[in-house]
A and B are shown apart, each in its own frame.
Chain A
Amino acid sequence: MWHNVKKQTLSSEARLAKIERDKEKIHSYNKLKDEIFKIRNEGSHTVEFLNKLTDLLGLNPEFYTIWNIRRETLSSLFHQHQLDSQSTLEDELKFVMVLMKRYPKCYWIWNHRLWCLFQLGKDANWEFELGIVSKLLSMDERNFHGWQYRRVVIENLETHDDLENLKINLQEFKFTSSKVNSNISNFSAWHNRSKLIPKVYHLVGKLNYQDEPLFQSKESLLLHELTLVNTGMYVDIDDSSIWVYLEWLLSDCFFIDELSNDKYHDILNDQLKIINELNDLEITDNGKDNCWCLKAMIIINELLDNRSAVRPLLEKLIDIDPLRRGRYIDQLDSF
């Protein structure tokens, strides 16, 4: 599967030269592979065998069967006390790190890293892992494996001590703040934030923890997040992340269940006003409404039960957002 790779057109000489070069590579790769399967079928697990597996994985880390054979072999060597598991697994983590740098998107390498850490059990250094993944996410801020790995690391840093867990998750919350502050379009960070807010709030309440003013009430949290989103709208009005996050803030029962009806309506009306003003600026600057502003106004008006305000907004969207015309027509019809 190729992603983001420009098509290469080789001249016929270059093509022939590649075929010539590949001959030797294919030969040694297949020789190594055949040897490995032969040894596996004989069931012999030795340290020399591990070296062959290292060589093959260096050539092709996507070869999942070889990772399986490696784990089988390691487990068997530990079991027979031919290798010390702790030092071997620590070396294994270094080996994996080298491969991760060369192949940052290969799923199997991450998978094997976790296996090593789980084998290490209480000797695993999850703080070190957190450092690695923070560095990775500073280089590639939406790397899917990176964010997933980060959540696994956090799960493993968590203990039975609620206060410790609160601190870990507060630190994670602050990590997402720094990510969205440096780039408002980092949806991966917004996403993680949506998971952390209820979690941290719950722990703060359970421990009656006073040092974090932001988490003392859902209302203060909501207002804080709305300010953040409103700032984001002015930074980049066409960034979808903030609008998706706004809808969550204004409609999720976590935030609104404890608000009085009056307070909720005030908040909705405030947001409507802010978005209206922003949209007016867009009309002045670009001569037309902004799609995201209109979509947000629809959501808020529906939450306010202002159904009569929704129809003209949908009619405008049919004009200015032709890609999703069919959706707006369906929504109009449902009136």
Chain B
Amino acid sequence: MTLLSKKHIDYVVNLNSEMSKQSYEHWLSEHLRMNGLYWGIMTLVTLKSLDSLPRQSIIDFVLSCVDKRSGGFGAYPQHDGHILSTLSAVQILSILGALDELDKESVIKFTKNLQLPNGSFQGDSFGETDTRFVYTALSILSILEGLEEELVNKSLDYLKQCENFDGAYGMRPGAESHGAQVFTVIASFAICNRLDLVNDKLSSWLSERQVKNGGLNGRPEKLPDVCYSWWILSPLAILKKLKWIDLSKLEQFILDCQDDEGGVSDRKGNQTDVYHTCFSLTGLSIINDELYEGNKYDMDSIDPVYCMPYSATKTFKPWPYKS
């Protein structure tokens, strides 16, 4: 199977079409709109087609989602600020080179205020804590150059407590290891320049996630799912262990999960969505960089730490900041 680039571009462009708006499900998913926009944009960036969407209307939409009471971004106008939609908003503006349109100080303040004394982060003032939110906070602050030593150290202490006997990480201290959590912890270590904290067992654990058909799963004895082509592959890329799995078989698995009408699903023959489309293609871009010097799929390179194009992340100030 080949890469259906053109189909995927059309698929993303049509997500917000009048036709999609005729479906009830479209309205039920407003709470994911900001994340969805980021996933769509990353799909287009990876396929070098960002100009298929109108830049100014995206910026206008993102800015219309500011939640003035919290200082963060909601997923949609009037929705409450949440750390997940705030990261998506910051990522989108950064990719579009529009960070100047943002009230950086208020986003930095919103993010810092969500840290709890044990170093974890809440998703919002009501929310639960999760290693995901630590990464989300560190990524926002790194993009906006708002990292601070105490915040970084407390975050790292918390993440270390989430390590398990298998060398991988769970969503909270005591919780079972999970592929998506491993990405958030390893990428956090990378942002904080502390990859020395990684357990030696981890790369083996990551390589054990590949199953016979080439796909990756998120936990032992679970079915493969195309979104782990990002969650498992990006930590392997960060740890420089991409060769520890069979990339060609994974490439085939990803291509097989494509739908003829555009979009990618968790497994072959299932319902597509923009989340799986984004994380399968960003994963494929890592494979493309590793295996094909000639850029076989004509893709842009994606930074495994931020899940953003290198063209955007190369300007981020590395931690620790030089005074």
Contact = CB atoms under 8 A, between A and B. Distances in A.
B23 A151 contact: no
B174 A2 contact: no
Contact of B204 (A195, A245, A248, A327): A327
A1 B265 CA distance: 9
Interface stretch (A83-91, A127-135, A184-192, A272-280): A184-192
A135 B74 CA distance: 35
Given A188-B176, A194-B164, A3 B31 contact: no
Of residues A3, A29, A188, A252, which shows the largest number of chain B Cβ atoms within 10 Å of its Cβ? A3
A111 B204 contact: no
B176 A322 contact: no
A19 interface: yes
A252 B241 CA distance: 25
Interface in B196-214: 201, 203-205, 207-208, 210, 212, 214
Given A2-B272, A248-B166, A240 B220 contact: yes
A4 interface: yes
Nearest to A254: B165
Of residues A26, A67, A114, A329, which shows the largest number of chain B Cβ atoms within 10 Å of its Cβ? A26
Nearest to B222: A142
Contacts of A192: 176
Interface stretch (A56-64, A200-208, A212-220): A56-64
B27 A5 contact: no
A7 B272 contact: yes
Range for the number of chain B residues in contact with chain A = 35 or more
Given A187-B176, A188-B176, A191-B177, A6 B220 contact: no
A284 interface: no
B243 A111 contact: no
B246 A323 contact: yes
A194 B266 contact: no
A288 interface: no
A248 to B, nearest CB: 4
Interface in B93-126: 124, 126
B221 A3 contact: no
Contact of B165 (A62, A114, A252): A252
A326 B124 CA distance: 42
A309 B265 CA distance: 44
B276 interface: yes
Nearest to B125: A68
B150 to A, nearest CB: 27
Of residues A37, A65, A324, which shows the largest number of chain B Cβ atoms within 10 Å of its Cβ? A65
A30 interface: yes
B245 A326 contact: yes
A241 interface: yes
A26 B27 contact: yes
A205 B225 CA distance: 44
A247 B27 CA distance: 49
Interface stretch (B6-14, B75-83, B185-193, B292-300): B75-83
Interface in B235-269: 241, 243-246, 249, 259, 265-267, 269
Contacts of B60: none
Interface of A: 1-8, 18-19, 22-23, 25-26, 29-30, 37, 59-60, 62-65, 67-68, 71, 111, 114-115, 142, 144, 147-148, 151, 185, 187-188, 191-192, 194-195, 239-241, 244-245, 247-248, 252, 322-327, 329-330
Given A7-B271, A29-B24, 12 more contacts: A1-B32, A1-B276, A4-B266, A4-B270, A62-B31, A64-B79, A68-B126, A114-B128, A148-B175, A245-B165, A324-B207, A327-B241
